[in-house]
Every structure is written in C-alpha cells, then in structure tokens.
Structure 1
Amino acid sequence: MKRIAPAADRNKSPILGVLRPLLPDGARVLEIASGTGQHMIHFASALPTVTFQPSDADPAALESIESYRAEAGLSNVAPPVLLDAASASWPVTSADAVVCINMIHISPWSSCEGLFRGAARILPPGGVLVLYGPYCFSGRYTAPSNEAFDASLKEQNPAWGVRDIDDLSRLATETGFVNEAITALPANNHVLVFRRQA
C-alpha cells in the first residue's frame, strides 16, 4: 500500500538540486531507508540516465516503495530490497553513491555507524555518501524548532536524536570519508556530502 509523507513532497526538489551535479550519467545510487518511496521516484524521473536501488528495513515500507515504482513504470528503478543499515552485510555490494534521507535521527547511533561502514564497503574511491536531515553544529542547534524536535525524539527513544556534525565528521574520518560539502536547505535542514577517499 502506498504511503504518503507530506515532508517528502516538500523537500524532494531541494534535495534533487543538490544531488543532480553529484550523479553523472550511468551512476548507480543506493538509497538507504527509502521510506514511502516518494524521493526515489522523484529523483529517478528527473535523472533518467541514473539507476536507483531503493531499500528499507521495514517490510511495510518496501510495499509502499514497490507501489510507487509500479505506478511510475520507470526502467531506472530496481525493485526495493530489505536492508538494515546497521547490518555488517548488505544485499547491495556496489554503488557509485549512497543516499540517506531523514534516517539517522530516528535510529540508534549504531545505525549511523553501520551506514558509514556499509557505504565504505560498497563505494569506490570518489564515491559519495549523501545525508539529509536536521543537524547540530558543534552542539548548537540551527533553530529553536530543531532543539524542540531533538527533545521530542529523545522522549520517544533515548537512542534517537538530532546528530552533531562534529560526531559525523569524526565517524567519516574513521571510515575513510572526507566531509566535502554542507548545504543549507529549507526548514532548517541540511544536505551533507561525504566523499570516499582512496
């Protein structure tokens, strides 16, 4: 059954604007935590020469993704696969880019660590890991709404929360990535681009 996330409709075009120059013709993109599937279909429609592999750890999300995929009929979107970012083994073994939208603040830190380690396993030197969501900068929130959101997340699950760029940069260094770019987008969110080093 198709799910609809209003936020996905609002942010999909701004995110695409950052992704477009990072994904050359022929690129293979793995999306982690594809959720409803709305982002993937939007990106694939706009970038017909790029191949997209959606994934999620939630079987219900996979159903939604497949519904969007079937409806769109795009040849550059593969069937979704079950993938837990925290796992030491992923069903996808190679990609040119890994994209993860709005996941790391609603999952434990182990999932964030798994995301970076998994991306390091499957990306070639020069490949990119692209993250989107709300972040802190050296302990500072970008807006009061993000501070309130962080508190709300931690009330739901103490292992969740808005992640700090400093922590992500350290994790990137540990796993062979360099923080290449930070782009501010609407609603106090940012796109982070990490490039895999040789």
Structure 2
Amino acid sequence: MTATKPFSQACENNKSPILAILREVFTQPTTVWEIGSGTGQHACFFARQLPHLTWQPMDRLENLAGIQRWLDDTQLPNIRSPLALDVNDDAWPCQAIDALFTANTLHIMSAAEVETLFERLGVVLNVHAAVCVYGPFNYQGRFTSDSNARFDQSLKAQNPVSGIRDFEWVCQLADRIGLQLQADHAMPANNRLLVFKRIF
C-alpha cells in the first residue's frame, strides 16, 4: 500500500503569492536551500515554476519521508532529495549558501532556536546571498490582526516557547550577521515575506 503524501492547505493557499516574490528575488541560476520544507509542497511547486533554480529541501529527520513522496510524484530534474536539518545540529549539511528560503518556521521554533538559526546562517551564507523569510510577524510588539493573536495563543498552547516573533527583533538578528533588509512584503492571511541580502 502506498503511503499517503502529507498535505498542508496553507501551502496551497500561499504558494502563488510567495512565487511572485521569489521570481523577483531569485533571478539567477543557483541552488535555493529551503529550511523547514514541511510537507514538500512548496519545494515541488517552486522547483516546477522556477526551472532555472535547483531546489534543496531540508527538514527534521521525521519529515523527510513525506517530502520524498512529493518528490517521487513530481519527478523534477531540478529538485534534490531532502536533507536532514535541525537548527540545533552542530554540523549542517550545507557549507556555502547563495539563496535561502524558509516559510512558517520562526514561530514554531523557540526564541533560542531562532537565535541559533541566524548564528549558523552567519557561518554558511555567502556574501550577496539572498534570504526570503515568510510567516506572521508582530510590529512594535503588537499583533497585526485578531487572527494572529488567536494563532499565537494556539501555538503557545501546543508549545509554550513558540509564538509569533517581533519583526524588529528578527531584523536585529539579521543585522548582526550582515543581512540587510531589502523588502517587507504584505502577504495574504496577515503574513509577510521578508527579503534580506547579505552585505558582509
């Protein structure tokens, strides 16, 4: 019996708006490393729509089998087999990154893990690397909508150390490693897509 592919309705809802931004950011042939690939839906959709890119999914070990099922169904030449990555790992499976994408990850991680993520990116990102971060953010310590406030409550009910992160704090972490904010795009369902470029 063939295992069922994992499915996220949120991925289906946001993939086209995200794609419109990625087309503007990842214009040159390169490998895009995706942290937190989840179900694998984004990886397959973006790889199909952006054939000049090579897509490298990464996620925690327990999610790799589900991602691989999506890859097996799509059979795209420009997407690699998923790699295991936990941001807390001492060794990451990547040493030089020119393009990075992550969606709906920062609010799942603890604040300490978000700090670790940026510290490790400071090691692996090349100068001029482009980084796209998608998800909900607070501004000046405030929720941008009632739905985001409810979402934050539901996150904390599942894991008290998770929660929607402050835009200003994330930008501070990015600034420490030479990531300069290029754009802050409003997205559907009270999400944002932050675009950074490494300047040193």
TM-score (norm 1): 0.95
CA contact (8 A) 1:86 1:110 kept: no
1:11 equivalent among 2, 10, 14? 14
Deviates more, 1:30-39 or 1:77-86: 77-86
CA contact (8 A) 2:6 2:39 kept: yes
> Which residue identity does 2:122 align to in structure 1?
A
For 1:59-74, list aligned pairs within 5 A.
59=62, 61-74=63-76
Identity of matched residues, %? 39
SS state at 2:134 partner: strand
1:54 equivalent among 31, 48, 57? 57
Displacement of 1:113: 1.6
Counterpart Cα distance in 2 of 1:130 and 1:94? 16
Counterpart Cα distance in 2 of 1:181 and 1:139? 20
C-alpha deviations, 1:127-159, integer Å up to 9, x for none? 122111111011121111101111221222221
Counterpart Cα distance in 1 of 2:53 and 2:92? 21
1:33 is matched with: 36
Displacement of 1:118: 2.4
Counterpart Cα distance in 1 of 2:18 and 2:117? 19
Counterpart Cα distance in 1 of 2:117 and 2:27? 23
1:125 is matched with: 127
> Which residue identity does 1:142 align to in structure 2?
T
1:21 is matched with: 24
For structure 1, the residue ranges without an aligned partner over 5 or more in a row are none
TM-score (norm 2): 0.94
User: Where in structure 1 do 4 or more consecutive aligned residues deviate above 6 Å?
Assistant: none
1:197 is matched with: 199
1:103 equivalent among 99, 102, 105? 105
**Count of residue pairs brought into register by the alignment:** 197
Deviates more, 1:15-24 or 1:110-119: 110-119
| Mapped pair 1:154 → 2:130 | no
CA contact (8 A) 1:28 1:52 kept: yes
CA contact (8 A) 1:34 1:40 kept: yes
SS state at 2:14 partner: helix
SS state at 1:96 partner: strand
